[in-house]
Structure 1
Amino acid sequence: MAVIDLGAYGPGFTRDPYPVYAELRARGPVHRVRTPPPEAYEGWLIVGHDEARAALTDPRLSKDSTKRGLVSREDGLMGRHVLIVDPPEHTRLRSLVARSFTMRRVEALRPRVQQITDELLAQMLPKGRADLVEALAYPLPITVICELLGVPDIDRVAFRSLSNEIVTPTSWEAELAAVRRLASYLDELIEDKRCAAPADDLLSDLLRTRAEDGDRLSGSELRAMAFILLIAGHETTVNLITNGVHTLLTHPDQLAALRADMTLLDGAVEELLRFEGPVETATYRYASESMEIAGTAVGEGDTVIIGLDAAGRDAVRFPDPDRFDIHRAPQGHLAFGHGIHYCLGAPLARLEARVALGTLLERCPDLALDGPPGPWLPGMLMRGVRSLPVRW
């Protein structure tokens, strides 16, 4: 099968990949592609919903690159975390984290999420215009996840630069440097918590957590878990809030319908996740044996890229998929994945998005775009914009 160079579509693919995904899907659900620069990685891209859902639970598709004789930068510098391991290692790590990161703990954050949102809007609203990313979409989730983990006040500008470089790298060298700096920071933070009096935060809980058989996270596993919770715990929500506001403001009929009936908010957030989800593709998987995906032969060791946003625009699952409709019942979208790697932080992301969007719309009845959004994030992992100018 010929390799489709997605980079050949130019910057238009980054701004709006959905026509390309539709073109590919019309020819079949699985294609051999080369991702755009700077990564330019070759693998099998799944663009069909049913095929993506099946791939997310296929045990033959491994998340562990070490089984191919490779060691990822995260694995080598951070340690093993739930996104880069398979059962039984994954089962063990996730169960240890799930003991502390519970639904009850997330729901208990609701008043604090509302308070932070109110404080950010109190700073933002008198100005009449702002970059929504800087004023709300970034500071809300980074504050929440830092408080949840027990991370003291950090230089958020510096941390954002590191985080952006890790999830949307500009070069291999810059990504490596960012991972090293964050690993060093987390080592110091964990050591401080070991020596401090017991505290009621998630990272301190993970330090103390033991399974019935006495099992607990090792030092490198704790560092890796803190890394993935800190990075994934805010990056996805930044883009969910930003994409949500951008989508609503560019679909005034749906915005008006939501303003007229705010009981539609929960469904609107689910439709936003389907229509313009914050994670464009799942992190890579590797075929542990020769296999077929939707009739396409995939060789042992081949990389498989599951298109989560592409799956959300599959007309087989979602009729008229390019229409944004907050009355739609979008259950079954794959924005948070599916199966054993389903996003652990999905309840927290939903909570933050509902509070942020609901409060913003309530306080800003004349909210509008104040120019075009900033550049779309490079690469195919995260889907979002660098900035979103708004006025009211």
Structure 2
Amino acid sequence: MDGAAIIEQLMTTEVRTDPYPLYARAHELGPVVPAGDGMFVVSGYAAVNKVLRTSAFGVATADMMAGLAPEFTEHSSLALFGRSILQRNAPDQPRVRSLIASVFTARRVAALRPAVEAAVGRLLDGMAEQGADGSPVDFMDAFAFRLPVGVICELLGVPERDRYRFRGLASDLTVALEIIQDLDDLDEADRAADELSGYFAELVAERLARPQDDLVSDLARIAAADGGRLSAEELLANLVLLLVAGFETTTNLLGNGLALLFRHPEVAAGLRSGAVTPAGFTEEVLRFDSPVQATARVALEDGLSIEGLPVPADSGVTLLIGAANHDPARYDRPGVFDPTRTDSQPLSFGGGQHFCLGSQLARLEGEVAMPALLDRFPRLAPGGVPTRRDRLVLRGFETLPVTVR
């Protein structure tokens, strides 16, 4: 096996369902291996961490991709992400990121705890009512999606009546973040991008006319005052990104976490008794079954190397975050789910200039939600066969039926 074979196998449904055996084989090859055609695959924790934090390894921008494939510009989903901070390098990325960070503050997130706790209570009430007769409840739809979408929409200022339309749109749109073999597969992603952009264009216009205490109002005001700081196109692209990133990864964190609790009832007992801390549990879920499994970088200059292996300019680098979080050189017994680890530091939220702005919010929601779920439903149990989404980059469940009784 070589790097090219690793990438090829990552494209199969079998490996996407359970990528961890492949990651173990990747570690046997070394922390970084060539994959042919100017590509490299990085699976070692230290190597992935270094690349994430080295600005000379940037993201593939829309201009870069259009140079390789002119049809790239024909897809609104790719163009939308290309205008967001997710796929921009300096100087544009730090310029826009700093504006978002100025309104998406740690203090603002921390102040959300009472609202998160109240939302958790309401959703648990709903699950109790839905499953009172013993029938299965889909945890993903009834709770794992509704909690984070409600929270991020509250921050953004999205009216409550609109919030639950976004799950399908986000699912369609995020296909554009996967490893794409055929751009013709992006039709639904393009439609989702158009609908979400149109939605936020209308909401921005409303907030400019009648400002409120929310992120859309704050960012719309900045864009209206100085398009050089934040253009109208950048505003819409990043509002869509904040919405989708604000609940996609947290939804998967909650679903992956509950599935692990079913596999490890001793951990559930530890959470109930206090022997396992909510923070320790959340960090171990992020490490053991990361909601984000992979990302990519491009060498922006000559003279770069990873673990002593030269990486020429314009080389593509696939970073296997899920593999890095299971690196035996970094973690003792990496294949064991152990929420009592004291020095975990998973790479699930990235690192460097692209570190996830919503990491604190995702951790808050996970730490509040899972203990409350177990406390409310002492007999919580699997209610059927779960289904996983056939995705690599964003790993999670489509359905996770439970009984609450």
- TM-score, normalised with respect to structure 1: 0.90
Which of 160, 167, 172 is matched with 2:167 structurally? 160
- CA displacement at 1:266 relative to structure 2: 1.0
Aligned identity (percent) is: 37
Quickly say closer, same or farther: Cα 1:314–1:77, change in 2 above 3 A: closer
- CA displacement at 1:255 relative to structure 2: 1.9
Superposition pairs for residues 42-57 of structure 1, below 5 Å? 43-57=39-53
**Of Structure 1 and Structure 2, which has the larger fraction of its residues in helix?**
2
Q: Which amino acid aligns with 2:147?
A: L
1:377 corresponds in structure 2 to: 389
Corresponding position: 1:318 with 2:314? no
Which of 88, 101, 110 is matched with 2:113 structurally? 110
Q: Could you tell me whether the CA contact under 8 Å between 1:371 and 1:390 is conserved in 2?
A: yes
Q: Distance in 1 between matches of 2:358 and 2:349?
A: 9
Q: Distance in 1 between matches of 2:402 and 2:345?
A: 32
2:95 corresponds in structure 1 to: 92
Q: Which amino acid aligns with 2:32?
A: V
| SS of residue in 1 equivalent to 2:203 | helix
Quickly say closer, same or farther: Cα 1:77–1:323, change in 2 above 3 A: closer
Moved more, 353-362 or 173-182: 173-182
Quickly say closer, same or farther: Cα 1:206–1:198, change in 2 above 3 A: same
Q: Could you tell me whether the CA contact under 8 Å between 1:99 and 1:209 is conserved in 2?
A: no
Superposition pairs for residues 120-139 of structure 1, below 5 Å? 120-126=123-129, 127=131, 128=134, 129-139=136-146
1:38 corresponds in structure 2 to: none
- CA displacement at 1:390 relative to structure 2: 1.2
Q: Distance in 1 between matches of 2:227 and 2:317?
A: 36
Q: Which amino acid aligns with 1:208?
A: R
Q: Which amino acid aligns with 1:146?
A: C
Q: Distance in 1 between matches of 2:38 and 2:164?
A: 33
- CA displacement at 1:110 relative to structure 2: 0.9
- CA displacement at 1:225 relative to structure 2: 1.5
Quickly say closer, same or farther: Cα 1:84–1:178, change in 2 above 3 A: same
Q: Deviations over 1:109-162 (max 9, x none)?
A: 111111111111111113143111011000111111111101123555642111
Q: Deviations over 1:189-236 (max 9, x none)?
A: 2122222x22011111112248x9996422112111201100100000
- CA displacement at 1:286 relative to structure 2: 1.5
Which of 227, 246, 250 is matched with 2:240 structurally? 227
Which of 177, 181, 186 is matched with 1:172 structurally? 186
Which of 48, 65, 71 is matched with 2:61 structurally? 65
Corresponding position: 1:342 with 2:355? yes
1:18 corresponds in structure 2 to: 20
Q: Distance in 2 between matches of 1:253 and 1:263?
A: 10
Q: Distance in 2 between matches of 1:371 and 1:42?
A: 45
Moved more, 84-93 or 235-244: 84-93
Q: Distance in 2 between matches of 1:333 and 1:371?
A: 30
Quickly say closer, same or farther: Cα 1:15–1:106, change in 2 above 3 A: same
Q: Could you tell me whether the CA contact under 8 Å between 2:106 and 2:360 is conserved in 1?
A: yes
Quickly say closer, same or farther: Cα 1:302–1:67, change in 2 above 3 A: farther
Q: Which amino acid aligns with 1:305?
A: T
Q: Could you tell me whether the CA contact under 8 Å between 1:32 and 1:43 is conserved in 2?
A: yes
- CA displacement at 1:33 relative to structure 2: 5.3
Quickly say closer, same or farther: Cα 1:368–1:32, change in 2 above 3 A: farther
| SS of residue in 2 equivalent to 1:222 | helix
Quickly say closer, same or farther: Cα 1:293–1:318, change in 2 above 3 A: same
- CA displacement at 1:15 relative to structure 2: 1.4
- CA displacement at 1:262 relative to structure 2: 5.9
1:37 corresponds in structure 2 to: none
Superposed CA RMSD: 2.6
Quickly say closer, same or farther: Cα 1:297–1:172, change in 2 above 3 A: farther
Q: Distance in 2 between matches of 1:89 and 1:252?
A: 47
Which of 285, 294, 300 is matched with 1:281 structurally? 294
- CA displacement at 1:268 relative to structure 2: 1.1
Q: Deviations over 1:16-42 (max 9, x none)?
A: 1011011011111223559xxxxxx99
Structure 1 residue ranges without an equivalent (≥5) = 35-40
| SS of residue in 2 equivalent to 1:301 | coil
2:270 corresponds in structure 1 to: 257
Q: Could you tell me whether the CA contact under 8 Å between 1:29 and 1:47 is conserved in 2?
A: yes
| SS of residue in 2 equivalent to 1:165 | helix
Quickly say closer, same or farther: Cα 1:218–1:244, change in 2 above 3 A: same
2:69 corresponds in structure 1 to: none
Quickly say closer, same or farther: Cα 1:201–1:155, change in 2 above 3 A: closer
Q: Distance in 2 between matches of 1:2 and 1:236?
A: 27
